[in-house]
């Protein structure tokens, strides 16, 4: 750890639990989902469908708990979009990162995400993941038993639902690939990964001091 950095407890226990379980479920959903689409034969169709449905329900339950946690802790504020340093952040990822340029925004406990991350994560949470959940449930329950017969949800053709669901899956996979790359861009190649495992991360010391002052001012 350099003289200009100081360790801070950035990621709380539930946050890490939610992150890793979400990642596991997304991978499981992707593996089984693409097998259902006959992209390959790994588990067998029936097993893939069964695991996909179970993982989907687990994912929905995790989302419910995550929503509750975000609103009860105030962590939802992390995703409020901002245009401050947005262009500088985009230029950093496109060019500056390859020239070892300084990061245009500094992470703190009360501001963990840079402007681009805020936009991307907000889009995932309010658009992509809800679309995946709704389209998945429509696909799962397009017909169901009722009073001895089968009632149909008003869907004449499931093809459009399947296409929307698959398109969302490709977006999530693209996000995961970019995310895996960006976690290597911290103070060291593994520092971001270690932070999400332990909760502790190296932050610039001056940012820690600014954060302490903000917390003290909020208490007054």
What's this model's pTM, rounded to 2 decimal places? 0.82
Three-state DSSP class for 157?
coil
Round to whole Å and give the CA distance between 112 and 185.
15
Between these two residues, 176 and 162, which has the higher pLDDT value?
Answer: 176
**Is 87's pLDDT higher than 80?**
yes
Nearest to 4 by CA among 185, 206, 214: 206
Crossing angle of the two packed helices 13-36 and 159-182, in degrees rounded to 10 = 130
Provide the percentage of residues in the chain whose pLDDT is more than 90: 57
What domains can you pick out in the chain, each with its CATH number? 5-215 (1.20.950.20)
pLDDT in tens, 163-193: 899 999 999 999 999 999 888 887 788 989 9
> Mean pLDDT over residues 146-167, rounded?
68
Three-state DSSP class for 100?
coil
pLDDT in tens, 98-116: 888 888 888 888 899 999 9
How confident is the model at residue 197, as a pLDDT? Answer: 95
> Mean pLDDT over residues 18-44, rounded?
93
């Amino acid at each position: 750890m350099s003289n200009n950095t100081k360790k801070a407890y950035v990621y709380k226990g539930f946050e890490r639990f939610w992150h890793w379980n979400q990642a596991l479920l997304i991978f499981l959903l992707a593996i089984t989902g693409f097998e259902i689409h006959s992209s390959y034969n790994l588990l067998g169709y029936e097993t893939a469908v069964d695991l996909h449905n179970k993982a989907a329900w687990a994912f929905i339950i995790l989302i419910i708990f995550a929503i509750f946690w975000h609103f009860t802790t105030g962590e939802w504020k992390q995703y409020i979009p901002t245009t401050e340093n947005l262009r500088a952040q985009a230029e950093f990822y496109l060019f500056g990162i390859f020239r070892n340029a300084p990061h245009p925004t500094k992470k703190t406990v009360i501001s963990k995400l840079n402007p681009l991350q805020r936009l991307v994560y907000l889009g995932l949470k309010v658009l992509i993941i809800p679309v995946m959940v709704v389209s998945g449930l429509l696909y799962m329950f397009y017909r169901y038993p009722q009073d001895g017969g089968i009632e149909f949800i008003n869907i004449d053709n499931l093809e459009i639902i399947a296409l929307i669901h698959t398109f969302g899956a490709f977006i999530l996979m693209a996000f995961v690939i970019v995310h895996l790359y960006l976690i290597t861009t911290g103070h060291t190649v593994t520092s971001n990964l270690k932070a999400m495992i332990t909760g502790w991360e190296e932050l610039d010391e001056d940012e820690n001091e600014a954060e302490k002052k903000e917390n003290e001012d909020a208490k007054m």
